[in-house]
Homo-oligomer: A and B are copies of this chain.
Amino acid sequence: MAAAAVTLARRIALSGVLFPRSSPQVWGQAARQPPSLLSTQRRAFSNNKILVELDTSSGVATMKFKSPPVNSLSLDFLTEFCISLEKLENDRACRGLIITSTIPRVFSSGLDIMEMCGKSTEHYAEFWRAVQEMWLRLYGSSMVTVAAVNGSSPAGGCLIALSCDYRIMVENPKYVIGLNEAQLGIVAPFWFKDTFVNAVGHRVAERSLQLGLLHSVPEAHRIGLVDEVVPEEKLQEKAVAVVAQWLALPDHARQLTKTMMRKAVLDHMLAHREEDIQNFVNFISKDSIQKSLSMYMEMLKKKKS
């Protein structure tokens, strides 16, 4: 485990985009200025899979997933996600974050099955630690976080949305969202479940998880899985307005309140983190699971061709 932790740290370090805590001034301390001056206040950094734009005048960053074909959460994607989050978290100019997708019809398809198939146990452990890290950073973020869900969002994609402070989804009869792990014969980890229960309550979560439901947009709205539904062309505007509403509160009070609400669930995961990795590795290494994932991937390949 320690080795895997080092590996993750190394990946982050090697990626070269890690923003050092000691020099926040490069990004930070931008005074608020009128919108007319904004053109020079946009800064962006991009790696392969995520484009990050920070509007230093409003203090709001936007993360755009741009990893074709379906923004699946590979180890590389997760590493880039964690690095970007840490960078923004340490940047005093950034107080809010909007997460959205540039891929048509997909927000994120969830964990990359390729990372769970035919790899070494070390790889599984490293991958799972990265999934945990992503959630720990996002669910515990001190920024205001809004998911602007402009496409389908199953499993791990749904978790990203659930980990934000607010979820806005585009009304489209083709889009679905939910924790559908059970449909694939796997089980959502307890901290996926805890995050889900915190959003929709115990009963809705119990049924939805057991059936591995992917909810239509109106249904997701009705059960509280998303907070608001808008037409595609209003999404960006709405997300900006919601972040602004949340940023109107004093940061300190809002952050302490958020911590108070989420601490129990975060602490519970941290206390069982290594055990959770071990469980994942044992589960995913089983012949029966490997077999069913292989079949699932074959099916996906055939679909494409």
B contact residues around A184 at 8 Å (CB) = 253
How many residues on A have C-beta within 8 angstroms of the other chain's C-beta atoms? Answer: 41
CA distance A200 to B204 in the complex (A): 10
In the complex, A297 has a CB within 8 A of chain B: no
Chain B residues with Cβ below 8 Å from A201 are 201-203
Is there a chain B Cβ closer than 8 Å to A38's Cβ? no
Minimum C-beta distance from A271 to chain B (A): 15
Residues 251-290 of A at the B interface (beta carbon under 8 Å): 252-254, 256-258, 260-262
Bound complex: CA A261 to CA B206 (Å): 6
Tell me whether A188 is interfacial, beta carbon within 8 Å: yes
29 A–B pairs (Cβ distance < 8 Å), ordered by A = A165-B207, A166-B207, A181-B253, A181-B257, A182-B249, A182-B253, A182-B257, A185-B250, A185-B252, A185-B253, A188-B257, A193-B260, A193-B261, A197-B202, A198-B203, A199-B202, A199-B203, A202-B261, A203-B224, A205-B261, A206-B258, A206-B262, A207-B227, A209-B257, A209-B260, A210-B246, A211-B246, A211-B249, A212-B253
Does A245 touch B at the CB level, under 8 Å?
Answer: yes
A13 contacts chain B at the CB level, 8 A cutoff: no
Q: Which residues of B contact A188 (CB under 8 A)?
A: 257
Closest to A203 in B: B199
In Å, the complex CA distance between A215 and B190 comes to 33
Nearest first, the 6 closest Cβ-Cβ pairs linking A and B are A185-B250, A182-B253, A206-B261, A187-B256, A198-B202, A185-B253
Q: Is A186 an interface residue (CB 8 A)?
A: yes
B187 touches A198 (CB 8 A): no
- Inside 8 A of A258's CB, which chain B residues have their CB? 206, 210
Q: B-contacting residues of A (Cβ < 8 Å)? A: 165-166, 181-188, 190, 193, 197-203, 205-207, 209-212, 224, 227, 245-246, 249-250, 252-254, 256-258, 260-262
Count the copies.
Answer: 3
| A250 and B165 contacting across the interface, CB-CB below 8 Å | no
Beyond contacts A210-B254, A212-B253: 8 other A-B pairs, Cβ-Cβ < 8 A, are A182-B249, A182-B250, A185-B250, A187-B253, A193-B260, A193-B261, A201-B203, A211-B246
Known pairs A182-B253, A203-B198; A187 contacts B245 (CB<8 A): no
Residue A186 contacts which of B193, B227, B253 (CB distance < 8 angstroms)?
B253
| A189 CB to nearest B CB, Å | 9
Chain B nearest CB from A122 CB (Å) reads 25
Smallest Cβ distance from A14 to chain B, in angstroms?
A: 36
- Kindly report which residue of chain B lies nearest to residue A205, judged by CB atoms: B261
- Most chain B Cβ neighbours within 10 Å, of A166, A199, A261: A261
Picked from B166, B206, B210, the residue with its CB within 8 Å of the CB of A249 is B210
Shortest distance in angstroms between A142's beta carbon and chain B's nearest beta carbon?
12
Distance from A292 Cβ to chain B, minimum over Cβ atoms (Å): 8
B187 and A257 within 8 A (CB): yes
